[in-house]
Structure 1
């Protein structure tokens, strides 16, 4: 088992961090697609499409062809949801990692390094939700390369964020993860996070039955808000 170490982000990590983030998000596209196809909404839509085309065209083959086309279109819509999210991240906070996290108040960015290669990453920042500002910090951009999963890298990165928030006397750490990232959900729940809500961040996400789960970990013995 290869060893690794957690350290703060450096500018030479820029390309590796961006590539790791993009790969980590895009690998969940098949799971999101399967989730939608298993939903009652998808099955109803496909059935209605099949019946409608059969009724209008008078041919089951055309109906089946329409369903097949709908499945292909749905795949590209699901992938578009993921690629849009990646593009937004790469053009915003991950376009200037140091400025977004290392030079930001109460922000930081860590990488896990093994044999000179970045194999994991996580960030912490003030939360976007106004209700949490001043009381919590937000864990963001967690990702670990496939071949290094199951070796405690994610747990170690999560621990850095919890210690960082606790040292600054924040009362909680919040985060968001997608409904198909089951391994991530188990990790966070094992570290004391509890699910506090679920949302769809876009109309397309809502149509595709794709939700974002929100988690919170209250830090024991900490004040509700840090001193100002």
Structure 2
């Protein structure tokens, strides 16, 4: 028997949901930083910086110091990138969760509850891409508490979204996830989602080799979506 249950969001879940979302996003910042440091672009840039600083100052210690300063600066920027994303979400759709997802058409928000505590969440809504509207819904804000991963909660939450979209006659579910969220990619691909695109959300993201992966799940046997 499952040690958790999936239910629709309630107003008393507000603080727990916002906190869960923020923790889930911020925990990926170190992975993004490590991935950046492993990239050929970053390593070449740091090497050029070291050589240039050493040549200019005539001291290899100053060259190392310049590299150290650059490493700190990039970490601060990557952390700030994640923090800004969290703040944007908390000040938009997650500021009024009921209004954004429970009172809006073709939208919903679920939480996973275990021992009286919210340990997971997911939402579904109209896609941001106008070209997808009317035919697909978008899975958003998927997050599961670190202590409750590996118990099938993410799969169950994803299933709620797929059933919701199918019941309303939509042909597909789309979503976006970052390149550092490897477990999320494995979950979605295991559920049958196909990667359909890759983008960088900003110039800084492109500089640090950060990409967003776009996925699509075509619902089998779905009729054309009704007018909305």
Shorter-chain TM range is over 0.9
Equivalence for 1:148 = 148
Equivalence for 2:50 = 50
Using the size of structure 1 for normalisation, the TM-score is: 0.98
Equivalence for 1:67 = 67
1:24 aligns with 2:24: yes
Equivalence for 1:205 = 205
Does the 8 A contact of 2:107 with 2:123 survive in 1?
yes
1:207-222 equivalences under 5 Å are: 207-222=207-222
Q: 1:5-49: per-residue Cα shift (whole Å, max 9, x none)? A: 000000000000000000000000110000000001101110110
Tell me how far apart the structure 1 counterparts of residues 226 and 111 of structure 2 sit (CA, whole Å).
26
Tell me how far apart the structure 1 counterparts of residues 50 and 224 of structure 2 sit (CA, whole Å).
55
Unaligned 5+ runs, structure 2: none
Does the 8 A contact of 1:178 with 1:213 survive in 2?
yes
- Deviation, 1:227, is 4.0
Unaligned 5+ runs, structure 1: none
SS for the counterpart of 2:134 is: coil
- Deviation, 1:203, is 1.2
SS for the counterpart of 1:155 is: helix
SS for the counterpart of 1:210 is: coil
Equivalence for 2:166 = 166
Q: 1:89-112: per-residue Cα shift (whole Å, max 9, x none)? A: 000000000000000010000000
Tell me how far apart the structure 2 counterparts of residues 209 and 55 of structure 1 sit (CA, whole Å).
28
SS for the counterpart of 2:176 is: strand
Q: CA RMSD in A?
A: 1.0
Tell me how far apart the structure 2 counterparts of residues 54 and 99 of structure 1 sit (CA, whole Å).
57
Tell me how far apart the structure 2 counterparts of residues 104 and 199 of structure 1 sit (CA, whole Å).
28
> Is the deviation greater in 216-225 or in 47-56?
216-225
Does the 8 A contact of 1:175 with 1:216 survive in 2?
yes
SS for the counterpart of 1:45 is: helix
- Deviation, 1:157, is 0.2
- Deviation, 1:138, is 0.1
- Deviation, 1:61, is 0.5
Tell me how far apart the structure 2 counterparts of residues 210 and 48 of structure 1 sit (CA, whole Å).
21
- Deviation, 1:224, is 4.0
Tell me how far apart the structure 1 counterparts of residues 19 and 115 of structure 2 sit (CA, whole Å).
18
- Deviation, 1:2, is 7.1
Using the size of structure 2 for normalisation, the TM-score is: 0.98
Does the 8 A contact of 1:138 with 1:174 survive in 2?
yes
